């Protein structure tokens, strides 16, 4: 709480804040970080197995197997979100499920499921891209900047 808000509190409110903070459950930060690290790594390991599956059985190269691997992870994440499994898994894993592409797919699918009663256009379409829109714009702008820098370096630097 900010110092300004503490100054404006009555003595009873200050006493209650001290009482509440003394009994507040401490979060196991280190345990949560370790769990997120291993679960995020497990998701990446599953992605690696999927990529090796595409390379082995469908004759993809390492470079061309990336796109279908990401698409498969997204489909799995959306299906698990639809069945209500991903949210329970994310509750346990924390940030480990939020960082990979599966977390992004989960957030988009969750918004679509939550607002489906409002209709497909204004409900699903409108709310699904509230989060996704900013990510897509940032990704597109970043790709443009990187491509521009690479083009300039290629033209002037001879790379």
**Residue 108 banded pLDDT, cuts 50, 70, 90:** confident
- pLDDT of 9 reads 84
Q: Please report whether residue 46 resides in a domain.
A: yes
Dig out the tokens for 111 from the structure. 């918004």
CB atoms within 10 A of CB 106: 22
Cα separation, 80 vs 14, whole angstroms:
45
- pLDDT of 3 reads 59
Dig out the tokens for 149 from the structure. 């820098």
Q: Under DSSP, is residue 54 helix (H, G, I), strand (E, B) or coil? A: helix
- pLDDT of 100 reads 75
Cα separation, 140 vs 156, whole angstroms:
24
Q: Please report whether residue 143 resides in a domain.
A: no
Cα separation, 89 vs 136, whole angstroms:
25
- 137-153 pLDDT tens trace: 888 899 999 999 999 99
Select, from the ranges 25-39, 66-80, 118-132, the one with the highest average predicted confidence (pLDDT): 66-80
Q: Please report whether residue 123 resides in a domain.
A: no
The stretch 88-108 carries a mean pLDDT of 84
60: left (phi > 0), else alpha (psi -120 to 50), else beta? beta
Q: Please report whether residue 100 resides in a domain.
A: yes
Q: Please report whether residue 55 resides in a domain.
A: yes
126-157 and 101-114 helices cross at what angle (nearest 10)? 150
Enclosing domain of residue 44: 35-114
- pLDDT of 46 reads 94
The yes-or-no verdict on residue 71 having pLDDT over 90 is yes
Q: Please report whether residue 12 resides in a domain.
A: no
Q: Please report whether residue 89 resides in a domain.
A: yes
- Please give the tally of structural domains in the chain: 1
Q: Please report whether residue 41 resides in a domain.
A: yes
């Amino acid at each position: 709480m900010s110092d300004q808000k503490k100054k404006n509190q009555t003595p009873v409110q200050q006493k209650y804040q001290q009482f509440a903070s003394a009994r507040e459950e401490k979060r196991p930060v280190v345990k949560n970080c370790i769990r997120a690290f291993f679960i995020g790594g497990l998701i990446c390991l599953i992605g690696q197995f999927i990529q090796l599956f595409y390379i082995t059985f469908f004759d993809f190269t390492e470079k061309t197997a990336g796109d279908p691997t990401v698409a498969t992870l997204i489909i799995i994440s959306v299906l698990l979100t639809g069945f209500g499994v991903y949210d329970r898994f994310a509750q346990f894993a924390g940030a480990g499920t939020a960082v990979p592409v599966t977390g992004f797919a989960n957030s988009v699918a969750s918004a679509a499921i939550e607002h489906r009663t409002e209709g497909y256009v204004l409900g699903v379409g409108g709310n699904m891209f509230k989060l996704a829109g900013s990510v897509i714009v940032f990704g597109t702008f970043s790709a443009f900047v990187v491509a521009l820098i690479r083009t300039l370096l290629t033209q002037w630097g001879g790379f």
